[in-house]
Amino acid sequence: MAPKFLQLLLVLSFQLRLSFSGQTSVMESVPDLQSSMYVTVDGYPCVRLLNLSGEIGCSNPGREKVVAPIIRLKDSNELSQLSAVLLSVEEIEIFFARILNDTTFGRNVAGVLVESGPESQNKLKGFSPALKFPQSDFAPYRSINYEWNPIGSGIMWNTYNFPVFLLSQSSTLTLQEAALNNEKNKKSYTADVAEFDLVMQTMKAGTHDSESCLKENTCLPLGGYSVWSSLPPINISSSEQSKPIILAVASMDSASFFRDKNLGADSPVSGLIALLAAVDALSKVDSVDDFDKQLVFIVFTGEAWGYLGSRRFLLELDLQSDAVSGLNYSLIETVVEIGSVGKVLNQEAKNFFVHTAGTSSATNETLDALRFAKDSVKSDHINVLSANASNPGIPPSSFMAFLRKNSLTSGVVLEDLILPSPTSSTTVTLMVYQI
């Protein structure tokens, strides 16, 4: 299946270099000079993302390089000049809130460098750049102020006209040294500066939406390929395919403020692994041909970006395209979504919460099956519980895209925790959200 539907795009081409002052060595060529002046720093950039009508994320203000001295912001510190600000992960949220609130302060931010290191992970209570209710537009209910992700700051959904980098651990040390140098040399005229070279911008002026930048080939599409498979295999040349379908779904990726630094292990990837384990177990059963139901497994791409994968899948079904040949929408009896299920391992009582939308006999059968599965494990510690009745409905999930197409779709979403617990979130640095 080729999800050609794009909502957001990213544009990247980045380099971050540090220029050191006050160093002397013998130089014989321009490259010598360059290598003595510059240290190339590695890290993960926040990139510009475009959709049909707007942009989010980070980029240089114009097409020029940004060069600014590196400083560390102390409490209530003002910025007296254009600066590259070094921040710890704990400071991100307050810093970005201040930028949005205080334009004078924001004007002096040339770039932001975020430290990473083992110690910052330990201190972290949990940092989430996603919204408190990720993708609430898709909620099949009105309580869109419900906080599925209470620690969410939403900073990844704003637009910043300066570059932002998450530093690698070794680069963090280099930058900390540079900031310290600048602090010491305050009265002298030298400073270590960060140079952000052509950071994350569209190659041509005026391509501020996905349609124009795609047309001009100056950006890349977001998302990838969703994958589906069935058990037993569906014979597409046979017209007898008529068993009701149980669709088991999971997500394969997550989104993050810093591109390529998505720690989604707790959220989507735990569900993906659980689904693959189930497929593996079922593939060893001889009698799959005799099942009353047709099993179909799907792993969606780009769900964190407006449920790209599931919406594309539903569109392909509508179009009856080759990508979904053998599948028939009206035969889908129920959806079983595996969300975040990895955190139970760290807990004594292993609680799985089943979220449902409406009641139907198919949903009841799934609930019975889950309880049956629990009993078969013969462990007192594993519990399959109905989600808290005070929830407004199902948590953010691909199932929302199915309900948007047909609000009577039956299905369940399995999750491990309703809210992040203080003990488990300490190991998570940059998750999108956890449920």
Ligand X SMILES: *[C@@H]1O[C@H](CO)[C@@H](O)[C@H](O)[C@H]1NC(C)=O
Per CB under 6 A, residues contacting ligand X are 7, 51-54, 56, 97-98, 101, 157, 235, 237-238, 242, 320, 328, 330-331, 359-361, 364, 388, 390
- Is 157 in contact with 51 (CB distance < 8 Å)? no
In Å, how far are 185, 225, 227, 409, 411 from 246, measured between CA atoms?
Answer: 67, 21, 16, 12, 9
Query: Quick one: 33 or 52, whose CB is closer to ligand X?
Result: 52
Query: Quick one: 69 or 312, whose CB is closer to ligand X?
Result: 312
Query: Quick one: 7 or 270, whose CB is closer to ligand X?
Result: 7
Q: How far is the CB of 103 from ligand X (least distance, A)?
A: 11
CA pair distance 119, 299, nearest whole angstrom: 35
133 by Cβ neighbours in 10 Å (0-12 / 13-18 / 19+) ranks as: buried
- Is 169 in contact with 43 (CB distance < 8 Å)? no
Query: Quick one: 7 or 207, whose CB is closer to ligand X?
Result: 7
261 by Cβ neighbours in 10 Å (0-12 / 13-18 / 19+) ranks as: middle
CA pair distance 249, 127, nearest whole angstrom: 27
112 by Cβ neighbours in 10 Å (0-12 / 13-18 / 19+) ranks as: buried
Name the DSSP letter for residue 82.
Answer: -
Q: Which two tokens stand for residue 127?
A: 């940092």
Query: Quick one: 376 or 390, whose CB is closer to ligand X?
Result: 390
Query: Quick one: 117 or 326, whose CB is closer to ligand X?
Result: 326
Q: How far is the CB of 214 from ligand X (least distance, A)?
A: 14
The answer for residues whose C-beta is within 8 angstroms of residue 418's C-beta and 6 or more apart is 353, 387, 388, 391, 435
Q: How far is the CB of 364 from ligand X (least distance, A)?
A: 4
Q: How far is the CB of 233 from ligand X (least distance, A)?
A: 8
Identify the H or E element spanning 94. Answer: helix 92-101
Query: Quick one: 70 or 384, whose CB is closer to ligand X?
Result: 384
Q: How far is the CB of 244 from ligand X (least distance, A)?
A: 9
Q: How far is the CB of 275 from ligand X (least distance, A)?
A: 25
Q: How far is the CB of 295 from ligand X (least distance, A)?
A: 17
Name the DSSP letter for residue 138.
Answer: G
- Is 163 in contact with 45 (CB distance < 8 Å)? yes
Query: Quick one: 36 or 51, whose CB is closer to ligand X?
Result: 51
Query: Quick one: 193 or 354, whose CB is closer to ligand X?
Result: 354
| Tokens 């079922």, residue located | 282
Q: Rounded to 5, what percent of the chain is helix, strand, coil? A: 30, 25, 45
Q: CA dihedral in degrees (60, 61, 63, 65; nearest 10)?
A: -60
Query: Quick one: 43 or 395, whose CB is closer to ligand X?
Result: 395
Cα–Cα–Cα angle for 12, 16, 17, rounded to 5 degrees: 155
| Tokens 């069935």, residue located | 230
Q: How far is the CB of 74 from ligand X (least distance, A)?
A: 17
Q: Which two tokens stand for residue 374?
A: 């629990």
Query: Quick one: 27 or 94, whose CB is closer to ligand X?
Result: 94
Q: How far is the CB of 114 from ligand X (least distance, A)?
A: 19
Q: How far is the CB of 118 from ligand X (least distance, A)?
A: 30
Q: Which two tokens stand for residue 161?
A: 């006209």
Q: Which two tokens stand for residue 208?
A: 């501020």
- Burial code of 143-165, b = ≥16 C-beta within 10 A, e = fewer? eeebebbebbbbbbeeebebbbb
Q: How far is the CB of 239 from ligand X (least distance, A)?
A: 7
| Tokens 């009698």, residue located | 287
